[in-house]
Amino acid sequence: MENYIVSARKYRPATFDSVVGQKALTTTLKNAILTQKLAHAYLFCGPRGVGKTTCARIFAKTINCLHLTPEGEACNECESCRAFNEQRSFNIHELDAASNNSVEDIRSLIEQVRIPPQIGNYKVYIIDEVHMLSQAAFNAFLKTLEEPPHHAIFILATTEKHKILPTILSRCQIYDFNRISVNDTVEHLLYVAQKENIQVEPEALNVIAQKADGGMRDALSIFDQVVSFTQGNVTYKSVIANLNVLDYEYYFQMTDLILGNKVSDAMMLFNTILSKGFDGSHFITGLGAHFRDLLVSRDQVTLPLLEVSDSVRQRYQEQALRCAPKFLYRAMKLCNDCDLNYRISKNKRLLVELTLIQLAQLTSDDEAPGVGQCPTRALKPIFTKQAATQPSAPAATSSVQQTAPTKPAHVSQSGPASAATQPQQAQSSQHQAPTPESKAENKIPKVKFGNLGVSIKSPHPASTAEKQQPATTTTPATVQEDYIFNEKDLRFYWFEYANLLPVEEAANAGRMKAMTPHLLNDTTFEVMVDNEIVEKYMKDMIPQIQAHLRKQLHNSKITMTVRISTPQELTKAYNRVEQFQMMNQKNPNLQLLREAFGLEFS
């Protein structure tokens, strides 16, 4: 029975030109060999399976070749090349740093470096997964890596460049390998399939290339697996079945349902996907990528970003014409938010279904009657910022004078707000309530008089005769009465003013946020400070603060006072000593505990 060799080893590149997807790096290495400008240390870093170790071996064989070609490639005919191809060359040494990462292994390597090559000009030491070396091994390797013998060249390969010490990086020429594109991977797989006489479909190779995620070794391993499954006839359906990949047909169908606002059908399709064993996170990630592909399909400039076969590319372009850019933007945002919240969600299926409902509402008409396929209204937030920040309290009630019988009053259920709809009757009442402002709901009364016939703003009850007698004088519209407020309202607008201060007054804003105003009476409040310096700053700000509070609270008599707190009053603890003193006042046993154990502040 003939020994089977996997495609990743059988079709491993033997020359720089056969390396896939790393044209810039291979050209640089060939030019360095042709011009005899070789460095003593190289660092090849990049993802797995992109050709780091392969390029290191090709480079080692080429610099020892006795008869280089004009293109800078090895001849594969001289003694050095034959010894390398037959794996009996003594000029190339490979060390796996994952299993040989101790100081003794590096010292053994340093001893071998002293021996010159027997055939060829250089001895090349390839250290794979060099980031696995210990700290002591790195330090033992520094001197030799900086000043090796003229016949020694080190090639370090790693997938995790960030774990390499800066002292090692500074001694090497660094080559960053890129992920291999889908098109390059498909072309190489097609070349391998032709060599092996395997029938393949371009769509199937495209799925394999996307599954490999930029690694050629992974792509060839998946290709061998699929070939074994299909017995030499690789089709798109067979690849989907073998790799358990979610077919793009589901994404096209789901997008059609979303555009048609068919929530029920979309949820049934999602149930079908789950029944086939696919994860909800996999589905929502793929759906977001599908919307992204539709977006790039709309413009010829971004069309090269669509890495699919030509037949599928046409379907993307046709469906993209039915999707507005605004819809695609919002759809991608919803899918991304669902993906971020998927792991922390306890009901993962409900999270995905809610996302599908929101997607189906993006193109729905809110005014259209419901047809049973989608909600008639879009999902909107229940709580708004304004409602969340306003203090909650019962609304102020006030008595409103009855107007003349010749002019009927259209009184609404909103109480005082109906006065705004009666401009003619406002001037015929002697005790007319002022027009409410936009933030009247924030004015919280201290006393609720109920049905005593007393107005909050006019505490003196009116007699029955005054109510029945028509008014002879009118109050000017410009006269405004002072509103009653409480300490909660005061603190709300106090912190509002602190947040409105510019960046240049960040210190004053911080002081205000650390203070809490207290009401002394109906219109006067005070704030306590720790020292005279802060007292001076706050007194300078009194006019501006008073003006802001009087405007927001609709009270022209608001007065602010500042005083320094006494030692007996509770002040803010700024360090650990002050915190301990405050705690000790509440519990004197803490001092005994400190003395018993000899504790000190760190």
Query: What's the pLDDT score for residue 327?
Result: 92
Same domain, 17 and 113: yes
Same domain, 69 and 132: yes
Question: Among residues 176, 197, 232, which one ends one of the domains?
Answer: 176
Same domain, 149 and 192: no
Query: What's the pLDDT score for residue 352?
Result: 93
Same domain, 210 and 116: no
Question: Among residues 326, 361, 396, which one ends one of the domains?
Answer: 361
Nearest CA among 175, 171, 113, 125 for reference residue 146:
171
In a domain, 465, yes or no: no
Same domain, 201 and 171: no
Same domain, 170 and 188: no
In angstroms, the CA 304 to CA 448 distance is: 71
Query: What's the pLDDT score for residue 577?
Result: 75
Query: What's the pLDDT score for residue 574?
Result: 57
In a domain, 322, yes or no: yes
Q: How many domains does the chain have?
A: 4
Query: What's the pLDDT score for residue 257?
Result: 92
State if pTM tops 0.75. Answer: no
Residue 345, amino acid? S
Same domain, 146 and 256: no
CATH value at residue 134: 3.40.50.300
In a domain, 482, yes or no: no
CATH value at residue 502: 3.30.300
Residue 173, amino acid? Q
Query: What's the pLDDT score for residue 414?
Result: 40
Query: What's the pLDDT score for residue 277?
Result: 84
Q: What is the pLDDT of residues 119-170, one digit of tens each?
A: 778 889 999 888 888 888 888 888 888 888 888 999 999 988 888 888 888 8
- How would DSSP label each residue in 477-528? TT--PPPP--HHHHHHHHHHHHHHS-GGGHHHHHHHHT---EESSSSEEEEE
Same domain, 166 and 204: no
Same domain, 346 and 238: no
Residues in the chain: 602
Secondary structure of residue 374 in the 3-state scheme: coil
- The residue segments making up the domain with residue 218 are 182-243
Query: What's the pLDDT score for residue 545?
Result: 92
Low-confidence stretches of the chain (pLDDT < 50) are 1, 366-378, 380-477
Query: What's the pLDDT score for residue 365?
Result: 61
In angstroms, the CA 86 to CA 74 distance is: 15
Same domain, 135 and 280: no
